[in-house]
Amino acid sequence: MKTKILILGVLIALFTACEEESPKPKENNFDAPEEFLENPSVKNAISESGIPIYEGKTPPVLSGKYRAEGSVIDVSPVVSKLNGLPINSTITLYNQTTSGKISFKEEISGIIVQGSGGYIIGENGKFSIFQESLQNGEEAGLPSDLSITVILIMSGTKYSQGDLGAKGISIITKAISSNPDYDLKAIENLWWMWEAYLNLEGPAKASSSANTDNLYFPDEMKEIIRNLTFK
């Protein structure tokens, strides 16, 4: 049976490495969706994947709890084994503001990913959401000497009954390590895209007790990164 994966979390796992901690990547401090789109790695992934970006200043109100069902539909050639992996998780979107901010929480099998401070744009029932995620060492399920930065984008349509149809993409824009034997360039710029139907289940109830950035990594990624990590 194939592993079910989170759609807004990072899908990377690496085997245990040395104990020295890695330098932590700095936040890009994006102040607008346009700044996400200007990132070279993001530009490249959008071009290669064809994921739509819906512009506009009047996105639909998305606050709610959704059941997401779908699969990974496109990936960087290096991570082709992710293609077809099923999506099955619960997504909560909340704290959406008129100034274009939004927060999310995602859950599967007791694992929670929670983030805030994302941006949302769109109009006429269509939307695009942008989020930056910094993942540092063991706290993110990575080796203690590896840190990565990931850009998350979700674009879709809100239907009349409140359900959502969406595509999403995760893009690794930076990898940092104190281990000179790591091939960091092989990890950077990897991306994977999913498509899912999000069934509205009820109102948003974001829990303040959720662990931020506790990420779930499918076993399929372990073998892939083993072959990429070392030069």
pLDDT value at position 199? 97
pLDDT value at position 133? 78
DSSP one-letter string for 145-202: TEEEEEEEEEEEEE-TTS-EEEEEEEEEEEEEES-TTB-HHHHTT-EEEEEEEEEEEE
Q: Is the pLDDT of residue 166 over 70?
A: yes
Angle at 109 between CA 105 and CA 111, to 5 degrees: 45
Q: How far does Cα 208 stand from its chain's mean position? A: 20
Indicate whether 24 belongs to any domain. no
pLDDT averaged over every residue in the chain: 78
- Specify the range with the lowest mean pLDDT, choosing from 28-37, 69-78, 111-120, 148-157: 111-120
Indicate whether 26 belongs to any domain. no
Indicate whether 220 belongs to any domain. yes
Segment 35-47, tens digit of pLDDT: 889 999 999 999 9
pLDDT value at position 222? 52
Q: Is the pLDDT of residue 11 over 60?
A: no
Q: Is the pLDDT of residue 93 over 60?
A: yes
Indicate whether 126 belongs to any domain. yes
Q: How far apart are CA 73 and CA 92, in angstroms?
A: 22
Q: Is the pLDDT of residue 132 over 90?
A: no
* Strand segments (E) across 30-100: 64-75, 86-94
Residue predicted with more confidence, 131 or 15: 131
Indicate whether 65 belongs to any domain. yes
pLDDT value at position 51? 97
Could you give the number of structural domains in the chain?
Answer: 1
Task: Tell me, yes or no, if the pTM score tops 0.75.
Answer: yes
Indicate whether 4 belongs to any domain. no
* Strand segments (E) across the chain: 64-75, 86-94, 101-108, 111-123, 126-136, 146-158, 164-177, 191-202
pLDDT value at position 34? 86
Query: What average pLDDT does this structure show over 80-95?
Result: 88
pLDDT value at position 170? 87
Q: Is the pLDDT of residue 24 over 90?
A: no
Indicate whether 117 belongs to any domain. yes
Q: Is 5 helix (H, G, I), strand (E, B) or coil?
A: strand
Which of 47-51, 168-172, 217-221 has the highest mean predicted lDDT (pLDDT)? Answer: 47-51
**Amino acid (1-letter code) at residue 17:** A
Quick one: pLDDT band at residue 5, thresholds 50, 70, 90? low
Indicate whether 12 belongs to any domain. no
